[in-house]
């Protein structure tokens, strides 16, 4: 979500919050007060909006920089390839559930949708729901599918997943670490896993 959209949401909808103490330069506080008076909002509402928008923008730039790092040459060259795909639940519950219903791996918009082009037939993709865990997995099949997303042309990339399994009990982030004895990057849209990580996860799911 862009900063512009965060601002629109702030103007139109209330939000839950938690107390956070911080210090800002006096000049910044003065600007906040001026904006708050003009918009009839509080300092806290403005600060929250700018922080949320800034976090999204930072994550976008970091993902663009790290894409080449997380798709390691060793993992991509392996005969048996595994990937962990974040289903975008925090940004769109609809996209998340559509992905599960369609039994596919999907990503949306520039810097994210290109991840799907890394997938080839036979790859195993684990679908990860933020704050919940791995909720499904399947084997990549077929060609790249491009669709429009919310009126934006060809901003939805996907590939079908065969032998699709929706887990009765998701495997949490902590569970992933315990099963594989390794750490994961859950915040990236998609990362390649080592064969050892993938094999450990598949063993956990097939034995359950």
Distance CA 49, CA 39 (A): 13
Residue 108, H or E segment: strand 104-108
Give residue 10's pLDDT: 54
Residue that terminates a domain, selected from 69, 90, 119: 69
Q: Kindly state whether residues 26 and 79 are assigned to the same domain.
A: no
Most distant CA pair in the chain, distance: 61
Q: Kindly state whether residues 28 and 130 are assigned to the same domain.
A: no
User: Both tokens of residue 65?
Assistant: 């920089």
Give residue 106's pLDDT: 97
Q: What pLDDT, in 10s, does the model give residues 44-69?
A: 888 888 888 887 777 667 665 555 55
pLDDT at 177 exceeding the cut of 70: yes
Average pLDDT for the chain: 86
User: Both tokens of residue 154?
Assistant: 């060809």
Q: Kindly state whether residues 20 and 79 are assigned to the same domain.
A: no
Identify which has the larger pLDDT, 191 or 10.
191
What's the gap between Cα 202 and its chain centre? Answer: 21
Structural domain total, the chain: 2
Give residue 71's pLDDT: 63
Which class for 148: exposed (0-12), middle (13-18), buried (19 or more C-beta within 10 A)? exposed
Question: What 3-state class would DSSP assign to 136?
Answer: strand
What's the rounded mean pLDDT across residues 157-163?
98
Q: What pLDDT, in 10s, does the model give residues 95-137?
A: 999 999 999 999 999 878 999 998 999 999 999 999 999 999 9
Q: Kindly state whether residues 16 and 106 are assigned to the same domain.
A: no
The phi, psi pair for 32, rounded to 5°, reads: -60, -45
Q: Enter the DSSP assignment of 165.
A: E
Q: Kindly state whether residues 47 and 106 are assigned to the same domain.
A: no
Domain holding 180: CATH number? 3.10.590.10
The domain in which residue 154 lies consists of 71-207
Q: Kindly state whether residues 48 and 84 are assigned to the same domain.
A: no
Q: Kindly state whether residues 161 and 113 are assigned to the same domain.
A: yes
Identify which has the larger pLDDT, 70 or 80.
80
């Amino acid at each position: 979500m862009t900063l512009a959209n965060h601002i629109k949401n702030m103007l139109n909808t209330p939000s839950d919050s938690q107390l956070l103490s911080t210090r800002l330069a006096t000049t910044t506080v003065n600007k906040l007060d001026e904006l708050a008076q003009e918009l009839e909002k509080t300092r806290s509402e403005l600060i929250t909006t700018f922080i949320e928008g800034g976090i999204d923008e930072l994550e976008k730039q970091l993902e663009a920089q790290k894409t080449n790092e997380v798709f390691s040459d060793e993992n991509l060259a392996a005969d048996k390839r595994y990937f962990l795909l974040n289903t975008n639940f925090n940004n769109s519950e609809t996209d998340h559930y559509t992905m599960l219903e369609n039994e596919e791996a999907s990503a949306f918009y520039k810097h994210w949708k290109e991840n799907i082009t890394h997938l080839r037939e036979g790859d195993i993709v684990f679908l990860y729901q933020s704050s919940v865990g791995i909720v499904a997995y399947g084997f990549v099949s077929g060609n790249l599918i491009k669709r429009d997303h919310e009126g934006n042309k060809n901003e939805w990339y996907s590939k079908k997943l065969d032998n699709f399994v929706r887990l009765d009990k998701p495997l949490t982030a902590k569970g992933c670490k315990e099963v594989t004895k390794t750490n994961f990057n859950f915040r990236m849209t998609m990362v390649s896993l080592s064969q050892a990580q993938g094999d450990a996860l598949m063993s956990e799911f097939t034995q359950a």
